[in-house]
Structure 1
């Protein structure tokens, strides 16, 4: 039989958990729920972790934005949606994304260009241009990049003579 954790035991485990990597308060709520800790106890445990410096939504947002952009190749739309899913306040999301945008500069378009060029190489050569356009557009949108940016990069890759409305 599985033994229930006390709130103090949960707090102790969470200090180790939070010391290893950044987590959102929502991650901690879920973890507490899986451990069988009453939800009334969660806010106090989360506040205590924040006071002691083990948990910080600001730090989590910055780390999440940086990691998902650099290592997963995500665009800002997808990153923003995932941070909202973690229940990070909009002002912290905006701040973290703005920091990365300033830091990255033109790198975002280069990254998108490399991502779409790689996808283009993986597509069958026999595929008609319209299908190529659609697949690249869908791929860029799925990765969280704005439609206009994806469209611009696709035009560069496929040649400016190609119009998306052509068959």
Structure 2
């Protein structure tokens, strides 16, 4: 038995996780993993998760909206990457769609334009095909939709 990690009562674990959720938005999967790491039993985990949902510490829709907004605004991720990451966190399809719907289409296209131009400025490759490939790989990795990426590349690299 590992005695190096502390054990928690139901009340202590609940208070600790209220703080954990209040600090930043969390998803259910992350929370359950945290409780498992605290060595809580399944019944206690269920009870704590229900408490956090009831008291609005845990809200999957709010998490998805916040996550999508943050990754788009800060990391300049496209819809594909945001969707993939939310799916890994077991967020429902409905909440993923709702989170993506909040991204303004006009701002989305402007962001892709700025990101593509900025990246193109750093590509030193002289071969046009290789330049196109490098730019495409970069934008696709960041989760931008392929039709938008190839349109942008055709526009920027003649």
1:8 corresponds to? 11
In 2, the alpha carbon distance for the partners of 1:50 and 1:80 equals 23
State the TM-score, normalizing by the size of structure 1: 0.88
Q: 1:29 aligns with which of 15, 32, 52?
A: 32
- Which runs of structure 1 show a deviation greater than 4 angstroms over 4 or more consecutive aligned residues? none
> How far is 1:6 from its partner?
2.4
> How far is 1:8 from its partner?
2.1
> How far is 1:110 from its partner?
1.3
Aligned length: 155
1:10-89 map, 5 Å: 10-89=13-92
State the TM-score, normalizing by the size of structure 2: 0.92
In 1, the alpha carbon distance for the partners of 2:53 and 2:47 equals 10
Alignment root-mean-square deviation, CA: 1.2
Where do 5+ consecutive residues of structure 1 fail to align? 160-167
1:93 corresponds to? 96
CA shift in 2, pair 1:6/1:127, >3 Å: farther
> How far is 1:148 from its partner?
0.6
1:151-166 map, 5 Å: 151-159=150-158
What do residues 115-143 of structure 1 show as CA deviations (whole Å, max 9, x unaligned)?
1111111111x431111111111111100
